[in-house]
Amino acid sequence: MAGPTYRFAVDRGTFREIEHTADLGLDLTGPTPAAVLEAVQRGLVRALFGEDPTAVPDEERSVALSERDLPELLKAWCEAIYRLLEEERFVALETRVDSDRPDDFRARVRGTVLPPEEVARASELKAVTWHQLQFAAAADGGWEARVIFDV
Amino acid sequence: MGQIQIEKVRPNVWEIPREGPMRVPGRVYASDEMMAEIRRDESLAQVRNVACLPGIVGASLAMPDIHWGYGFPIGGVAATEAEGGAISPGGVGYDINCGVRLARSDIEADALGPARLRSLVDALFEAVPSGVGSEGSIRKLSRADQERMLVEGARWAVEEGFGTPGDLDHTEENGRIAGADPDAVSDRAKGRGLSQVGTLGSGNHFLEIQRVSRVLDPALANAFGLFAGQVVVMIHSGSRGFGYQICDDYIKRIKPRLADYGYDLPDVQLAAAPLDSDEGRDYLGAMRCAANYAWCNRQVMLHKTREAFQRVLGIGPGELRMDLVYDVCHNIAKIETHRVDGVDRKVCVHRKGATRAFPPGHPDVPAAYRSSGQPVLVPGSMGSRSYVCAGIPGAMVETFGSTCHGAGRRLSRTAARKEARGRDLLGEMEARGVIVRATGMRTVAEEMPFAYKDVADVTRVMEEAGVSRRVVELAPMGVVKG
């Protein structure tokens, strides 16, 4: 049964796929850490599928993480999104970050469970790497981050 | 350290002089044309960074298929002192024991015909699951089975009926590296590995039906059981989610200990631990479990391949004679003895996107190849040529017994997809006589031949540098991709 199609009201961050010879990477910006974390969900899913999925969200998952700092939170968050796909075939389509504190991160993810053949078409994510991993306040007052995936 | 200084020291060999925190120089094997491309990304900086690893000896090496990785460059080789040196999970990579196996057959390519070839590709696509979340090639392992497999490697698969004892004789380390420690593996890694044995994965992994298109060294080809026009099968895959998780677990565990070890590294992804520390020992034990997992994985896929061939062609194993030529890993760290500064020393050789290439007479080369040298399997990009090479004595002098592992990417994945936009990629491959079955077209676009260097140039450079010799060239006929 299809659920509501509203988007969570968050400040939107942006993502940009960066050129990396072997792997995939994202540069992210946003007015708040929460916006950056919301943007990486969209960027990661697009990177995995090569396009924005057309599926409609009809289920919700909660994610809670406790990490040392923002870069480690960014990495753990990406891993959590991918784990939902790998283990439950659940593709994250929208995110609401309720707390962006690294030691008490909480988010709700809306998405849908895809058929196995759809999941198999995605790029396999070997890892969210530590290479060039960044997440910090930007000079212009916003927030910026970089993450590189081994695919 | 600023701009990379690199100078050509002899044909196909370049050196980055030691400076700043570098403990050894860097050395890169590449033609002039390759070097022009290599300079465009950050891979040379990564060669220089690896030269800062504690306990590194000789030089930080890069093979001609070098490209920008994370921490280590892909195509990197580094040997560290076994006593007092460091081991770096990033120097092995996430896909521990990613590797290649090649099986010969008694089938001649001309006898297959397009219809039977297509049936074979379809049968292999069904028999060997691929893509994200792929599982179910064999039953889900029990925890007890998994513990045994992590220690026994491909031997477990053979004992379970997935292959023959002869396969083990033709696998690096006989498909089982000693010292695996399942207790050093996290529950999360074990959980990810339970149902992925016998699956291909995604990205640059593949299963190809190939024909021997050119024999370059008839005597060595004969020693490897290869002849012109013969059908062979090449499988490229690794330790799947099990290995990825181990690498990630240990970088996370080691990273906060770097200051305790007195290590100051230029990239977190190079995170390393002393080999004689708890973290170093545990990583080595866990990494060896992943190495054994990967050999088991490729063993099961070979068994599934044999079954598919027999079913489609309606012949038995005696008529097919699909014997394993060899199985090599190209992401691993191994304790080996090498001559350094005129003295034999035990070192930990990290090969990240590099293949062992031991010469004739080396005690670690299987008995069948003791007089020929170890077969070295160098896959090209999807749909382009691959090579079987042989290790020669120069490898022990030049590269800690290592050579190239593949073509090496030239374009980023993003650039490759742009290049592929609007093109009928499968049609293009069929026009070249190659049938492709893929789980997703995205991977096909990213792995097209135009995204890679020419593997012929890569293997030629290593031959001219006196490291490995080309034996046969292989042309693709059918490709299964994740």
Instruction: Assign B383 a pLDDT band (cuts: 50, 70, 90).
Output: confident
pTM of the model: 0.94
pLDDT tens for residues B344-358?
Answer: 999 999 999 999 999
Instruction: Assign B58 a pLDDT band (cuts: 50, 70, 90).
Output: very high
pLDDT tens for residues B207-234?
Answer: 999 999 999 999 999 999 999 999 999 9
> What pLDDT shows up at residue A82?
95
Contact list, B239 vs chain A (CB under 8 Å): none
Asked if B482 reaches chain A (Cβ–Cβ under 8 Å), the answer is yes
Please name the member of B95, B130, B268 whose beta carbon is closest to the beta carbon of A130: B268
Nearest CA in chain B to A17: B414
Listed residue (B136, B183, B174) closest to B155, CA to CA: B174
Please name the member of B41, B133, B411 whose beta carbon is closest to the beta carbon of A116: B133
Instruction: Assign B465 a pLDDT band (cuts: 50, 70, 90).
Output: very high
> What pLDDT shows up at residue A10?
55
Q: How far is B77 from chain A (nearest CA, A)?
A: 17
* pLDDT of residue A8 exceeding 60: no
Listed residue (A38, A40, A50, A24) closest to A149, CA to CA: A24
DSSP string covering B92-146: T-SSTT-EEEEE--S-BGGGTHHHHHHHHHHHHHHHS--STT---SSPPPPHHHH
> What pLDDT shows up at residue B112?
92
Nearest CA in chain A to B70: A131
The verdict on a CB contact (< 8 Å) between B94 and A126 is yes
> What pLDDT shows up at residue A9?
47
* pLDDT of residue B313 exceeding 90: yes
Mean pLDDT value across residues B138-149:
92
- CA quadruple B203, B205, B211, B215: dihedral sign: positive
For the question of residue B405 being annotated catalytic, the response is yes
* pLDDT of residue A35 exceeding 90: yes
Nearest CA in chain B to A86: B133
The verdict on a CB contact (< 8 Å) between A127 and B241 is no
Q: How far is A55 from chain B (nearest CA, A)?
A: 17
> What pLDDT shows up at residue B388?
98
Asked if B23 reaches chain A (Cβ–Cβ under 8 Å), the answer is no
Asked if B397 reaches chain A (Cβ–Cβ under 8 Å), the answer is no
| Catalytic, out of B205, B330, B338, B405 | B405
* pLDDT of residue A2 exceeding 50: no
Tokens 């002393």 appear where?
B274
Q: Rg for chain B (alpha carbons), in Å?
A: 21
Instruction: Assign A5 a pLDDT band (cuts: 50, 70, 90).
Output: very low
Q: What H or E segment, with its residue span, contains residue B218?
A: helix B218-223
Half-sphere exposure of B101 (CA within 13 A, CB side): 29
Q: Please provide the distance, in angstroms rounded to a whole number, between the alpha carbons at the two ends of chain A.
A: 33
- Put simply, the chain B residues between 234 and 263 with a CB less than 8 A from any chain A CB are 241, 244, 247-248, 251, 255
Residue partners of A82: CB distance under 8 A and separation at least 6: A44, A48, A125, A128
The verdict on a CB contact (< 8 Å) between B251 and A22 is no
Nearest CA in chain A to B200: A124
The verdict on a CB contact (< 8 Å) between B134 and A127 is no
Nearest CA in chain A to B71: A131
Asked if B4 reaches chain A (Cβ–Cβ under 8 Å), the answer is no
Instruction: Assign B410 a pLDDT band (cuts: 50, 70, 90).
Output: confident
The verdict on a CB contact (< 8 Å) between B248 and A127 is yes
What is the predicted ipTM?
Answer: 0.86
